[in-house]
A and B are shown apart, each in its own frame.
Chain A
Amino acid sequence: MSARSVFPQLEQLLPRISKPIQYVGGELGAVVKDWDATTVRWALMYPDAYEVGLPNQGVQILYEVLNEQPDVLAERTYAVWPDLEALMREHGVPQFTVDAHRPVRDFDVLGISFSTELGYTNMFSALDLAGIPLESKDRTIDDPIVLAGGHASFNPEPIADFIDAAVLGDGEEAVLEITGIIREWKAEGRPGGRDELLLRLARTESIYVPRFYDVDYLPDGRIQRIVPNRPDVPFRVSKRTTMDLDAWPYPKKPLVPLAETVHERYAVEIFRGCTRGCRFCQAGMITRPVRERSITTVGQMVREGLEFSGFSEVGLLSLSSADHSEIGDMCSGLAEQYAGTNVSLSLPSTRVDAFNIDLAQELSKNGRRTGLTFAPEGGSERIRKVINKMVTEEDLIRTVVTAYSNGWRQVKLYFMCGLPTETDDDVAQIGRMAHEVIKAGRIAAGTKDIRCTVSIGGFVPKPHTPFQWAPMVRPEVIDARLKMLKDVINSDRSLGRAIGYRYHDGEPSLIEGLLSRGDRRVGAVIRRVWEKGGRFDGWSEHFSYARWVEAAAETLPQFGVDIDWFTTREREQAEVLPWDHLDSGLDKDWLWQDWQDSLSEYEQDDCRWTPCFDCGVCPSMDTEIQIGPTGKKLLPLTPVNNLRVPA
């Protein structure tokens, strides 16, 4: 197979579409290898537009890890916009990689990273444009293995018929193990064809191959059981956990795009996992335990990453960055190192306490002062206990007052609507809280010229969380509450004027809920939506609720279920959930207990600072909490004032 570049054909189409640069490649950090000099070839896809997909950390890390192997080639592909899709169909140009513009179908693996389920329809477009059969059962030995990863792969059942395999959890080591299996199978002359390869993958017990599992249903539509249909694959498939992040300091050579993308910064994960225990947060549940990257490795990555990329912004990422055991020294050390360089540092902060302001102060020493964002998530004390977001209103007011009195003029507050047990009053309290923030802020700042933005997201119950059993709230109820909240905010004109209000209506969340907790029967809905033209469902201008409702009405009745059955229906403890055979390490009994605790408004501590509460992850996955402090400090950099001229 030659994997000839399709660029000569593509080049004819580029002058006719918007933002052609996104399809051209040529980024710093991009790698183009000799096809024939490699044995295992990966196409990595982020199933959204280039501007969203390029900065994705997961794809960048795997791209670099794979390309560091001498006999492995990895290239990237992204969803193409409808203008190019139409031209590609008209001119017979297949889905291609941006690195060397090779046809995706020529690769051994098409690995797709699903951060969100709303990327599913874009997977169909990519497969179809690539000339890869949509259903796993129709693929031949000449088609790539279609492999799903990312957080959505913790319940890949809705796309089970369309992928060949899924990896749960961290990918760094998994991609190398998969590469090894493919390398060996190819060296042996591809014995047993595609089925044998999938079987070898399944036998690792950490790669899920849906075709080897059958789902039986009860007459009422619930799942009776999910069991292997052959003796040599495991009953449950385990997630992967990369321990010792210092041993995996990626990305070392971040991709630097020519096109404008959503994040233009060098991002370093300062730790992975979170045990704060917010009950709505799937990321916090499925990425346990907490594994910190040491302050010295972070310092080295920032230095080398900036030198390589030329970025002027550094993001210190994690699920709750202020919780790193050495975050204070890290922020002050980096601020000192980059003083006077016009490099800005940012800490996506979600914790509501004054410590965050100290950190933000450190980081803004260089001049640029990024906005402050806090996420109380719930408007009332009661609902915050339900979701285990342990923040009091006092904490919040004290925190924002500190911010305003330290010169910030704008803070952003994140909340959710549609949470379990939520009442109109819980949502109305968001408005009241925003009023209090402005009142206290005006006194602290000594000026009326301060603002806060209230941003509301729709709650979507996710698999492997205590809320996996929870009923969703109907979109019309959500929309009514959001409208009511607007009235509350504007009930006082003087305060209301200082409050920005941003929200999404309830319909997209309901569809995300369908996809998140769906089973294999939902696959028919996704496929029908795609056939009806559904693309880029994460974009409000492309998302069509009516299309999803129509597609569901055409496909689900044959199974005796509907959208409500998957979304607004509360599950019982005994129900077999579509992802029960996929092991995130969390003990289902513990999750159920946490769900019951939630309903009785009982809070759960963080196991980093209190004794283990037996969520189950560490013993079942043979992992442990890895936190500092290491006691080390970042040393000031010796400024280098020389031009870096190549030898």
Chain B
Amino acid sequence: MGGQAPVVQRIRLRYAKRGPLRFTSHRDFARAFERALRRAGAPIAFSQGFTPHPKISYASAAPTGVGSEAEYLEIGLQAEVDPEQLRLALDAALSPGLDVLEAVVAGEGSLADRIDASRWRLELPTVDPAVAAAAVKSFLDAEEVLVERMTKQGRRSFDARVAVTHISVTDQSLGRSGAVAGRLDGESDLPSGADGAPCAIIDLVVRQVTPAVRPDDVLSGLRVVAGLEPPVPPRVTRLAQGTLTAQGEIVDPLDADRED
């Protein structure tokens, strides 16, 4: 048993979880990605040791069932490759719906240090946007919104308000115009409902805090402050992750690498 080849190049990827494949858990994705590396012929580097592991590190992953346009990971390679060729090969090696969108050679600093907030889109089919807007206003007006969630430590109560830096409602009736570009072909954009049925869409920016405040915690918060109970499960998508600026914008974590 020889030693493993050293890492000569690090590449950072942005990928999406779309359509039905938003139900892949992080563990599911990790397994699929390792296989994709092999299918793509990517010269992935392995850790030393008795059971070598491929060099992959993930930034915070979206919850199971939540779609995402902005998931990030970094891989270590034992040979240099062209990032765009790698992106194409990996994208082809993954199931449609798990889509590799960008690849850049990693610069200085860590990916994790460049991510402290996420922008989410929450689609609430059949919910009247005006009703949603009123709930959002109550949420914004509250000093603190205590919600409960089961965690590994058991049931715990925490403030969902503190992490929210932006929340607003946009009015959109069901239709293709509201869809995120590049979703899985042939799948409906939105859960259900006839054309023209109301659908409230919430734009949400949440800072990373401990314990993590997730979109479903904000939805719980809307129930707590305004009794908002969507009759069908809301559809949630992460639109962006990155560093939150003082102006409330989210900076793409790969920007710094592109400049290097």
Contact = CB atoms under 8 A, between A and B. Distances in A.
A27 B35 contact: no
B89 A643 contact: yes
B95 A27 contact: yes
A149 B20 CA distance: 31
A259 B28 CA distance: 6
A12 B232 contact: yes
Given A16-B233, A264-B31, A308-B39, A645 B95 contact: no
Contacts of A640: 41
A260 interface: yes
B95 A641 contact: no
A256 B35 contact: yes
A15 interface: yes
Nearest to A19: B25
Interface string A267-308: 000000000000000000000000000000000000000111
A259 B29 CA distance: 9
Interface string A630-647: 000000000011111110
Contacts of A643: 40-42, 81, 85-86, 89
A14 B65 CA distance: 8
Interface string B96-123: 1100000000000000000000000000
Interface stretch (A309-317, A353-361, A494-502): A309-317
A16 B29 CA distance: 20
Interface string B73-93: 000000101000110110011
Main secondary structure of the interface of A (DSSP, over half): loop
Contact of A24 (B23, B31, B38, B192): B23
B191 interface: yes
A9 B36 CA distance: 31
B52 A310 contact: no
B25 A312 contact: no
A8 B96 CA distance: 18
B25 to A, nearest CB: 7
B2 interface: yes
B250 interface: no
Nearest to A8: B192
Nearest to B86: A643
B41 A311 contact: no
Contacts of A311: 35, 38
A549 interface: no
A231 interface: no
A141 interface: no
A260 B34 CA distance: 13
A458 B172 CA distance: 62
B86 A20 contact: no
A310 B93 contact: yes
A337 to B, nearest CB: 15
Nearest to B41: A644
Contacts of B97: 26
B88 A645 contact: yes
B28 A258 contact: yes
A73 B85 CA distance: 35
A11 interface: yes
B88 A646 contact: yes
Contacts of B88: 645-646
Given A7-B20, A12-B192, A645-B85, A367 B1 contact: yes
A306 B35 CA distance: 10
A641 B41 contact: yes
A18 to B, nearest CB: 10
A642 B39 CA distance: 11
A547 to B, nearest CB: 31
Interface in B8-43: 20-21, 23-25, 27-29, 31-32, 34-43
A443 interface: no
A340 B2 contact: yes
A342 B46 contact: yes
A19 B23 CA distance: 8
Contacts of A86: none
Nearest to A20: B23
Interface in A179-227: none
A11 B79 contact: no
Contact of B50 (A14, A260, A367): A367
Nearest to B231: A12
Contacts of B79: 641
A260 B31 contact: yes
A28 interface: yes
Contacts of A312: 34-35, 38
B95 to A, nearest CB: 5
A25 interface: yes
A532 interface: no
A21 B24 contact: yes
Contacts of B37: 310
A308 B1 CA distance: 27
A165 B7 CA distance: 58
B35 A21 contact: no
A89 interface: no
A569 interface: no
A645 B89 contact: yes
B51 interface: yes
The residue among A19, A307, A342, A642 with the most chain B CB atoms within 10 A of its own CB is A342
A24 B35 contact: no
B188 interface: yes
Contact of A8 (B39, B52, B89, B188): B188
Contacts of A8: 188, 191-192
A20 B233 contact: no
A643 B232 CA distance: 44
Given A12-B192, A645-B92, A646-B88, A26 B21 contact: yes
B188 to A, nearest CB: 6
B57 interface: no
Nearest to A22: B23
B96 A644 contact: no
B60 interface: no
A309 to B, nearest CB: 7
A368 B51 contact: yes
B133 to A, nearest CB: 24
B157 interface: no
B154 to A, nearest CB: 19
Contacts of A309: 35, 39
B165 interface: no
B191 A12 contact: yes
Interface in A599-646: 640-646
Contacts of B32: 256, 258
The residue among B21, B35, B88, B192 with the most chain A CB atoms within 10 A of its own CB is B35
Nearest to B29: A258
A306 B95 contact: no
A15 B31 contact: no
B170 interface: no
What are the nearest 8 A-B pairs in CB distance?
A310-B35, A310-B39, A310-B38, A20-B23, A646-B92, A643-B89, A24-B20, A15-B233
Given A21-B25, A310-B35, A342-B52, 18 more contacts: A8-B191, A9-B192, A11-B192, A12-B233, A16-B233, A20-B64, A21-B28, A256-B32, A258-B28, A258-B29, A259-B28, A310-B36, A310-B38, A310-B39, A310-B93, A367-B50, A643-B85, A644-B40
22 contacts: A7-B187, A8-B188, A8-B192, A19-B25, A20-B65, A21-B23, A26-B21, A26-B97, A256-B32, A258-B21, A259-B28, A260-B28, A264-B31, A307-B39, A308-B39, A310-B35, A311-B38, A312-B34, A312-B35, A342-B52, A643-B89, A645-B88
